Structure formats: C-alpha cells, structure tokens
Amino acid sequence: MSTAIEAEPRHDRRGGVWDYISPSRLALFLKCPLAWKLRYIDGVRSPTSPALFVGKVVHAGLESWYRHRMLGLELGAGTLRAWIADFWGQSAADENMTFESVAQETALQAQAIELVGTYLAQVPADEPRPLAVEATLEAPLIDPNSGENLGIPLLGVADLILGPATSARICDFKTSSKAAPPHEITHELQLTSYAWLFRQTTGQSESGLEIRSLIKTRSPKVEAHAYPARTGRHFARLFSVIREYLDALDSGRHNFRPGGGCAMCDFRESHCRDWTGSGR
Ligand code: SF4
C-alpha cells in the first residue's frame, strides 16, 4: 500500500547547490566530497582537457544526427563531417581551448569525426526513431517508499531516448580511451536517475537502458551494453545515496577521500594538498 506524500518538503530551497541534484553531482560527491565542494560550492573551475573536448564534440555530433533523425531526416556523412569541423572551431574558440600543437588539434578533430562515423556505421537499420535527444528532465524527489518529499528536484540530461514512449530505451553515450567491462553498478546511479526522471515526467516505464561507448582505440570501436528496466531496489539505493548527499549539505562536512581517483583530480596540487580538514 502506498503511503501519503508529505505536503511539506524536507528542505527549503536556498539556491546554488539546493536548486537541484544531478547524476554528475552525485557521482562527484561519492568520489570525493571535497572535490564536490570545490566545484559546486566554491565554484573552482577546471580547464577542459583535450580528451574531454573530444567527448563533447562527439556528443554534439551524435546529437545533431539524432535530432535530424527525429524529424525523419538523414544527415549524410559528408554533411555531418563538415558540421563537426565547424562545431569544433567555434567550440574551441568559445572554451579557449589550447592544444599542444596544430598537429595535435588536427588529429583530435579527425578522431572525433572518425568516432562518430564508426558509431553511425553500426546504428541498426531498424533502430526506432528517437523520442527525445539531449532531453533535460526534471522531477521532484519523492521517496517511493516513505512518500517523503525531499524538497529538491532531480535534474538530468538524457542523451537519447528511443521510442515509442510505451517501450522507451534510455541511452547514454560515453567516450573513453579503452573498453571497460559492462558492470552495471558502474553506471547504476546515472541510469536509475534517468529512469526516475523518465517515469516521473511521462508516467511510463522504460523498457531498458543502454550505455553506448565510443572507444578511442587506434581503430575506433563502439560497444553497447544493455541493462534491464529499473526496479524498486534500484530506486531505494538511489534515494539512500541522495539522503546521504543531503545530510552532507546540511552538515557542511565535505571531507577529502584519497584514493585511486586522485591521479586524475584537477584539485590535487592546487587545493587538496594544503587542505586542513573540515574543522568540525
Ligand atoms: S586529490 Fe583526491 S582527495 Fe584530493 S580533492 Fe582530489 S579526489 Fe579528493
């Protein structure tokens, strides 16, 4: 039997990090609360790395292709290549990107074009038309078990939702330098967040979820891993993490969490090394 939803939310919205929770905020918080605080409370920005920039351009190329497909239009390979090259130049200027050399930038742009081309060559001919592309979804967080309104919405941007709505597949694109084992738990919070948002905004349940990885090997590869529709267990686990996140916001305790992720952390030398604790 379902419980009644509390009329009053748990927290007042106070702007900033209280505006919404997102899968990426949760992911960084779980990786390291200090890194999360530096980025989302202190506003420390990190420069976009060339590898991250390639990922952004690949996402934009796929978005453009799928937006045309949504309208029943096929964007030809040559047109898409030209579109990506234009987008690259404009975005690199907007983000003040710096590359080691012109040769490096040229090679990375070619890599982005080749990755998108490899992906499109493998799209099944009978793939359903998209229901939504780069869809920003937002929904209140009302605990499905207790009915408590957590007073803060969940917000996420789904790369691709394939139709129809009654049996939608929610897909997320990744670019990476090497193939990774298809462990569901690696992507669990992100996929469960998207499923929650889809269900809350459409009233339908997804039929499944997918991670589509574009891998930057010498000869690019695409791997798609499918995962089943979410269950009550997934949502209970998501809400458990969200409650821990909200408790940390309330307490202001954002400790560092040294580990394997430190090797790739932009804050390691600039902010973390001299950090002296949360002082509580
Ligand atoms: S270097 Fe490690 S412990 Fe320090 S902020 Fe980064 S992830 Fe956290």
Domain assignment present for residue 146? The answer is yes
Domain assignment present for residue 189? The answer is yes
Domain assignment present for residue 280? The answer is no
Query: Within 13 Å, how many C-alpha atoms sit on residue 50's CB side?
Result: 16
CA of 32 to the centre of ligand 1 (A): 6
| Rounded-to-integer distance, Cα 183 and Cα 265, Å | 23
Domain assignment present for residue 32? The answer is yes
Which ligand 1 atom sits nearest the alpha carbon of residue 266? 6
Domain assignment present for residue 108? The answer is no
Domain assignment present for residue 120? The answer is no
Q: Is the pTM of this model over 0.85?
A: yes
CA of 68 to the centre of ligand 1 (A): 41
For each of the chain's 280 residues, which pLDDT tens digit applies?
333 334 445 545 567 899 999 999 999 999 999 999 999 999 999 889 999 999 999 999 999 999 999 999 999 989 999 999 999 999 999 999 999 999 999 999 999 999 999 999 999 889 999 999 999 999 999 999 999 999 999 999 999 999 898 999 999 999 999 888 889 999 999 999 999 999 999 999 999 999 999 999 989 999 999 999 999 999 999 999 999 999 999 999 999 999 999 999 999 999 999 999 876 5
Question: Which structural domain range is residue 22 located in?
Answer: 16-44+128-251
| Rounded-to-integer distance, Cα 269 and Cα 53, Å | 22
Domain assignment present for residue 191? The answer is yes
Domain assignment present for residue 256? The answer is no
How many domains in the chain?
A: 1
pLDDT of residue 3: 34
Tell me the CATH number at 147: 3.90.320
Q: Which residues line ligand 1 (CB under 6 A)?
A: 32, 34-35, 256-258, 261-262, 265, 267-268, 272
Phi, psi of 227 (to 5 degrees): -135, 150
Buried b or exposed e, range 72-97, using 16+ CB within 10 angstroms: eeebeeeebbebbeebbeeebeeeeb
